[in-house]
Structure 1
Amino acid sequence: MPPVFLNRIGTATPGHEVHGTFRAFAEGLIADPRERRLFSRMADRAGIARRWSVLPPDGRPGHVDAEGFYAAGGFPSTRARMARWEAEAPGLAFRALDALGPVEGITHLIVASCTGFAAPGLDHAISAHLGLDETVARTNVGFMGCQAAIVALRLARDAVRADSSARVLVVNLELCTLHLQERPEVEQLLCFLLFGDGCSAALVSADPAGLRLDGFRCALLPEAEEQIAWRVGDNGFDMVLSGEVPKSLARALPPRLPALLDGAEPEAFDLWAIHPGGRSVLDAVEESCRPPQGALAGSRAVLEEHGNMSSPTVMFVLRGMLEAREAGRRGIAMAFGPGLSAETMRFMTV
C-alpha cells in the first residue's frame, strides 16, 4: 500500500476573546465564598490565557455575551443552540479552508464535530463553497469528542491506501461555547472554563510532503467509562469531564502504552502532539508516558492561547509541528474522548 501524508493544515478561531468574561460570569454563579476561592485558584492554574468564541463578550457583571444569548435565568434551548451552530459553523470553516490554501482534485470530504448537527449540514456547505464535484464521497464523524480529529485522519488514510489517487479534505469544527450551562457546581464550572471554539482543515493524500501517517491505535478504558461523557440535553449538550480523568490516565496509560505506541518505546518519538484537554491532562501524560523533556511545549502553548477546542485542538498542535518540521523526526499524536478512550497516530516528518 502507498504511504499516506498529511500535507497541510489550516486553522481558524472566531474573533471574540472571552476567557476573562466567561470566568467572571462563572465565579458569579458560586454563592459559597470558600468554593468561589477554590474556583479562582483552580482557574489560575488552568494554563489558559485566552479562549475564543462566536459570541461577542459583555464585560458587565452578571453578563456573558453582548447579544443576550446567555441571559441569566433563561439560557437557550438545545434548538436555539443548534440554530446558532448552523448559522456560525460555515463561516468559521471557510476561514480555516482559506488558511489551508488551494485544494484541487478533492475526492473525499470528512467533517468531524460533536457540538452541533444539521442536515443538510456543514459537509454540504463546504462542498458548495469550494465547488466540489457532486461525486465527492462525504463522511460525517459525530460525538467522538476531542479524539475525533485522529479518527478522521485514520479514515482519510484508509481512503488513500485504498486508492492512491484519492485526495481527502478533513475538517474539524467545534463551537464549544454554545454549550455553557447555568450551574453552580465548581467541577462543572471548571469544565466549562476549559473550552473554546475553533476549526481546522487538512489535506491528506499520497503526495510525499508534510507528515507521513504511519499507523493508528486505539484503546478503551472501561474502568473510567463515565468520566468523560457527552449527551444531548434540553438546554444544550451536557458535558461530564470528571476531575478524576488525569488520575485515571496516569494509571491506565502505562500498561496500554506498548499497544498504543505499536511496540515502540517513548524515547523513540521526538515529537509529541498531545491533545491539550487541560493542564492536568498534559501533566498526567507527561508523568505516565515519559516523553522527552519539553516535548509537550507545543500542546501547552495551544492550551494557553486557545483553551480546549475539542476535536480541532490536536490539529493546531500538529500544524505547529508541520511548520517547524525537520525531515526524519518520528512523532506520536494522542487524544482522549468519551468512554474513556484514547486514540493515537504515529507519524514521520518528511
Structure 2
Amino acid sequence: MNGEKNSSNSRVLKLKYVKIGYHYLITYLLKLCLVPLMAVIIVQASRLSLNDIHQTWLHLEHNLVYVVVLSAFVLVGSTVYFMTRKRSVYLVDYACYLPPSKLKVEHDRFMKHCKLMGCFDETSLVFLDKILGRSGLGEETCAPEAMHYLPPKPSMEAARQETEQVMFGALDTLFANTNVKPNDVGILVVNCSLFNPTPSLSSMIINKYKMRGNIKSFNLGGMGCSASLIAVDLVKDMLQVHRNNYAIVVSTENITQNWYSRNKKAMLLPNCLFRVGGVAVLLSNKSVDQRRSKYKLIHVVRTHCGANNKAFNCVRQEQDDVGKTGVSLSKDLLTIAGNALKSNITTLGPLVLPISEQILFYVTLVANKLINAKIKPYIPDFKLAFEHFCIHPGGRAVIDELEKNL
C-alpha cells in the first residue's frame, strides 16, 4: 500500500511540474521565438562594413522627403497613441474611520440593551442573540450615540451627526496621510444607501472643506453594498476624461435612522449586521503618484442582476404591518450573491488568466462541443491570476456562501 501511495504521489508531483513547465512555455513563447530572430539580426549587423553603413546614410540623404514623411507619420501616430491611450488609475491611499471607544457595543451589552428597550418579544430576542453570535462581528464594533440612550433617540439631526463624524473623521486622516489638500481634489463621489438628506452628503463635504467650485461631485443612494464598487467604477471612467486629477470616494452607511424596533425577523437582521463605519479612498491618474500608490486599478467588473425579480427584492427598505420602517433581507440574498460572483468571475477570467490556462479551457470546451468527447470541463487555476481575494464582509453567512461558490 505504501509503495502504491508513493507512486501515486510521484505521478501527481510529475503532473504538477509538467503543468508548471507548460505554463511558463506558453507565457514566454513569444519571447522565446524572438531569440532566434534577434540572433539573426545581430549576426547580419556584425557583417556590415563601414562602407555599407556609409552607403545606407547616403541613400537616406538622397531620399530626404521620404524620411521626413515617415518621421511625421511616426510623430503623429505616437501623439495620437499617447493622447488616446487608457490612463492608469492609482489608489494612492485610504483611511477607515475609527469611532471613539465610548461607542463600543459588546455582545452582552447589545442584548441587555435590546431587552431593556421593551420593543422586542422573547422570540425576537432569541433570534437576535442567535444571529449576533453567527454574524462574525467582534467585541470592538460601535453603534451611533443616539442608539446608546434608553429609549434610543433617532432623529434627522442625530443621523447627520453620525454621518459627519464618520465622513469627516476618515477624510481628515486621509488628507493628513497623503498631504493632499481638499482644493486639489477634482472629483468626489459619496455613497450611502439609506440616508440621503438635502443638502446631500457630497455637499456637506464640499462645504466643510471649502472645496473648489468646479469639482465634479456625485451622491449615490439606494444601491446597497454594491455602491462602493459602483463609485470606484464611476471614478475610473471620470479619470479617463479628466487628466492629472485626484478623486475621492467616501463610502458609509447610516445606522441612527435605520434601527428596526419591531419583531419581523427579515427586518431584524440589519440590527445585528450593521455598525458605525466608513472609508475615504484617494485615487489619482497622475503619473507622479505611481511610486507612492498602494494599488493600481486594472479591471472593474460588475454584473447587474436587477432584471431578476428575486435579486431586485432581496434587499428592500419597507414598512412592516404596523408601519415601522426597516430594511428587509430576503433568504434569496445568499443565492443571488453567489450567482453574481460566478458571473463576475466568468467575465473577469479572460481578462486576467494567463494564456496557458485559457488554451486548456477552450480546448476542452471545443472538444466537448464539436466532437462530443465527454471530457470533464477544465477549471482554470485562478491562483495563477490572483494572489488574494478580498471578500465583502456582509456577515458570516455571506462569507460562507462566497467561499462555497469560489
- The equivalent of 2:347 in structure 1 is 259
| Gapped regions of structure 1 (runs ≥ 5) | 57-63, 71-75, 290-350
1:197 Cα offset (Å): 1.5
1:232 Cα offset (Å): 8.1
Q: Does the alignment pair 1:3 with 2:88?
A: yes
Cα offsets for 1:286-319 (capped at 9, x unmatched):
1101xxxxxxxxxxxxxxxxxxxxxxxxxxxxxx
Equivalents in 2 of 1:164, 1:18: separation in Å? Answer: 45
Equivalents in 2 of 1:66, 1:249: separation in Å? Answer: 35
| Gapped regions of structure 2 (runs ≥ 5) | 1-85, 354-379
- State, as a whole percentage, how many aligned pairs show the same letter: 23
Kept in 1: contact 2:262–2:324 (CA 8 A): no
Higher helix share: 2
Equivalents in 2 of 1:45, 1:85: separation in Å? Answer: 28
1:160 Cα offset (Å): 1.3
Equivalents in 1 of 2:185, 2:198: separation in Å? Answer: 22
1:1-350, aligned counterparts within 5 Å?
Answer: 1-15=86-100, 16-20=103-107, 21-26=109-114, 29-32=119-122, 36-49=125-138, 50-55=140-145, 65-66=148-149, 68-70=151-153, 80=155, 82-100=156-174, 101=176, 102-104=179-181, 105-206=184-285, 207-208=289-290, 209-221=293-305, 222=308, 223-231=310-318, 238-251=326-339, 253-254=341-342, 257-261=345-349, 263=351, 264=353, 266-267=382-383, 268-289=385-406
Change (3 A) 1:155 1:220: closer
Equivalents in 2 of 1:14, 1:235: separation in Å? Answer: 32
SS in 2 for 1:96: helix
Equivalents in 1 of 2:122, 2:162: separation in Å? Answer: 36
Higher strand share: 1
Cα offsets for 1:301-348 (capped at 9, x unmatched):
xxxxxxxxxxxxxxxxxxxxxxxxxxxxxxxxxxxxxxxxxxxxxxxx
**Normalising by the residue count of structure 1, what TM-score does the alignment of the two structures yield?**
0.69
Kept in 1: contact 2:303–2:340 (CA 8 A): no
Kept in 2: contact 1:22–1:193 (CA 8 A): no
Give the count of matched residue pairs.
Answer: 272
Kept in 2: contact 1:51–1:195 (CA 8 A): no
Change (3 A) 1:236 1:276: farther
Greater relative contact order, per chain length (Cα 8 Å cut-off, separation 6+): 1
Kept in 1: contact 2:167–2:250 (CA 8 A): yes
SS in 1 for 2:148: coil
Kept in 1: contact 2:131–2:272 (CA 8 A): no
Kept in 1: contact 2:302–2:344 (CA 8 A): no
1:275 Cα offset (Å): 1.2
Kept in 1: contact 2:144–2:255 (CA 8 A): no
SS in 2 for 1:238: strand
Change (3 A) 1:47 1:123: same
Equivalents in 2 of 1:108, 1:227: separation in Å? Answer: 32
Cα offsets for 1:148-175 (capped at 9, x unmatched):
1111111111121112212111111222
- The equivalent of 2:66 in structure 1 is none
